[in-house]
Structure 1
Amino acid sequence: MRASERAYASLHSDIINWRLKPGTVLGEVELSERLGVSRTPIREALARLGAEGLTEPQSGRGTVVSEISLDHLDELFELRSALECRAAELAAKLCDPEIFLALHQKLTNAGELLTDNDPSRTDYYRLAGELDSAVDAAVGNHYLSQALKNLRIHLVRVRRLGKDNPARLRDAAREHASIALAIAHGNPVVASAATTVHLDNSLRHLLSTAR
């Protein structure tokens, strides 16, 4: 793997998992020393992160991790609704039903993954990611999948504002299960409606928790 790719992967992971918090200054010299690469790969990685909206220039400070503003949540979820509802509709028309029936069963039992032994909710979020991947595969639209991929980068950061509330995550799992079942039954209208319910509940929870 090229040095710039390694630097990008490390910084990307640190940013979306809040090891580098919003507003953190990303100095080239410090990053070069910490990651063991020259400053040129660091600049390339920072440029790529900037293009994704994960970093931004700040006067007098250089490059910093971009802020997450509650003022932008509505805009983010407007885009999310347009993309995810359409993806659910297409998946309902094009999918292998057995894949989504299996996901429905897993998601119905997803509350069992929310234990004190996994405070980072790794297994839970991995299962939610399986649904995203299955929808992407069923749709088979490169441009839609790429747009969703870029959107999910910011959603991973945003969900931290919800503080991984177990009750909300259990509700979200049931909502995901409903989406999977509607897709499995080949009903695009219900799949889109179930996605809308999930997104509305998620947004309201984020706004109420983060204020």
Structure 2
Amino acid sequence: MRTSERVYGLLREEILDGTLAPGASLAEIEQSERLGVSRTPLREALSRLQGDGLVAARGGRGLVVAGLSLEDVRELFELREALEVKAASLAAARRDPAVFEALREEVRAAGETLGPATDLEGFYALTGRMDAAISEAAANPYLEAALRSVRAHVARLRRVSRDDESRLREATHEHLLILDAIVDGSPTMAAHATELHLHRSLASIVRSLGAHPVPEESRQ
């Protein structure tokens, strides 16, 4: 693996899991020393992250981890709706029912065990596999590439409401509605169920950001 690829993966993971918080400085000298690499591969990695929208330029501060303002969230969900509703519709038309039947059972079982001791990383890994299965079933490489980019930002947003157990229960029910529609081969119902899930997810995140706003200096 090329050094720039490895650095890109490390920094991307740190941004997505919150190790590098919104607004955190990504000064070349500091990061190259921390990661033990030269500045050339670091610059390549930072350029890719900037293209992903995870890193932003700040006058006088160089590059920083991109913020998460309410405006950012609303714009992201506009794109999510366009992409994910279409992907779910195509998946329902082109799916292998057995794949989604198995996922439905896993999601149902996960929902039954949600509680204070829930393994949230495992739960999100399961929903990530559901997303990946929908993308694969949609069988459109251009749509799949666009969804990969969007879902990087979604992973960051999940941290905002991840401790809200009631929202996780609602989201599990919504995921099951989507899976039911795909298993049944109903593109219209899959699209509607996905649209409902996105609408409720956005409302939950907006409430969470309203209660715990991102500091102004951390925003894009």
TM-score relative to the length of structure 2: 0.91
Q: In 2, distance between residues paired with 1:124 and 1:113?
A: 10
Aligned 1:163-178 pairs, distance under 5 A: 163-178=162-177
Per the alignment, do residues 36 and 114 of structure 1 end up closer, same or farther by CA in structure 2, a change over 3 Å counting?
Answer: farther
Note the C-alpha offset of 1:164. Answer: 3.0
Q: In 2, distance between residues paired with 1:118 and 1:15?
A: 23
- Which residue number in structure 1 is paired with residue 141 of structure 2? 142
- Which residue number in structure 2 is paired with residue 22 of structure 1? 22
- Which residue number in structure 2 is paired with residue 105 of structure 1? 105
Q: Is residue 88–residue 191 contact of structure 1 (8 Å, CA) maintained in 2?
A: yes
1:142-168 CA distances to partner (integer Å, 9 max, x unpaired)? 000000000001111112222431111
Uncovered stretches (5+) of structure 1, i.e. residues with no partner? none
- Which residue number in structure 2 is paired with residue 81 of structure 1? 81
**Residue 56 of structure 1 aligns to a residue in which SS?**
strand
Uncovered stretches (5+) of structure 2, i.e. residues with no partner? 211-220
Note the C-alpha offset of 1:112. Answer: 4.4
**Residue 57 of structure 1 aligns to a residue in which SS?**
strand
Q: Is residue 88–residue 135 contact of structure 1 (8 Å, CA) maintained in 2?
A: yes
Q: In 2, distance between residues paired with 1:117 and 1:206?
A: 22
- Which residue number in structure 1 is paired with residue 60 of structure 2? 60
Note the C-alpha offset of 1:27. Answer: 1.0
Q: In 1, distance between residues paired with 2:196 and 2:8?
A: 35
Q: Identify the range of structure 1 (156-165 vs 97-106) with the bigger mean alpha-carbon deviation.
A: 156-165
Work out which structure has the larger RCO, using CA pairs closer than 8 Å and 6 or more positions apart in sequence: 2
Aligned 1:124-203 pairs, distance under 5 A: 124-203=123-202
Question: Percent of aligned pairs with the same residue?
Answer: 46
Q: Is residue 92–residue 187 contact of structure 1 (8 Å, CA) maintained in 2?
A: yes
Q: Show structure 1 runs of 4+ deviating over 6 A.
A: none
Q: In 1, distance between residues paired with 2:32 and 2:114?
A: 38
- Which residue number in structure 2 is paired with residue 50 of structure 1? 50
Q: Is residue 24–residue 64 contact of structure 1 (8 Å, CA) maintained in 2?
A: yes
Q: Identify the range of structure 1 (191-200 vs 161-170) with the bigger mean alpha-carbon deviation.
A: 161-170
Note the C-alpha offset of 1:115. Answer: 4.7
- Which residue number in structure 2 is paired with residue 37 of structure 1? 37
Note the C-alpha offset of 1:137. Answer: 1.2
Q: In 2, distance between residues paired with 1:84 and 1:197?
A: 11
Q: Identify the range of structure 1 (15-24 vs 152-161) with the bigger mean alpha-carbon deviation.
A: 152-161
- RMSD over equivalenced CA pairs, Å: 1.3
TM-score relative to the length of structure 1: 0.95
Note the C-alpha offset of 1:209. Answer: 1.5
Q: In 1, distance between residues paired with 2:206 and 2:142?
A: 30
Q: Is residue 97–residue 183 contact of structure 2 (8 Å, CA) maintained in 1?
A: yes
Q: In 2, distance between residues paired with 1:23 and 1:34?
A: 18
Note the C-alpha offset of 1:113. Answer: 5.1
**Residue 168 of structure 1 aligns to a residue in which SS?**
helix
Q: Identify the range of structure 1 (135-144 vs 100-109) with the bigger mean alpha-carbon deviation.
A: 100-109
Note the C-alpha offset of 1:29. Answer: 1.0
Q: In 1, distance between residues paired with 2:103 and 2:95?
A: 12
Residue-pair matches, total: 210
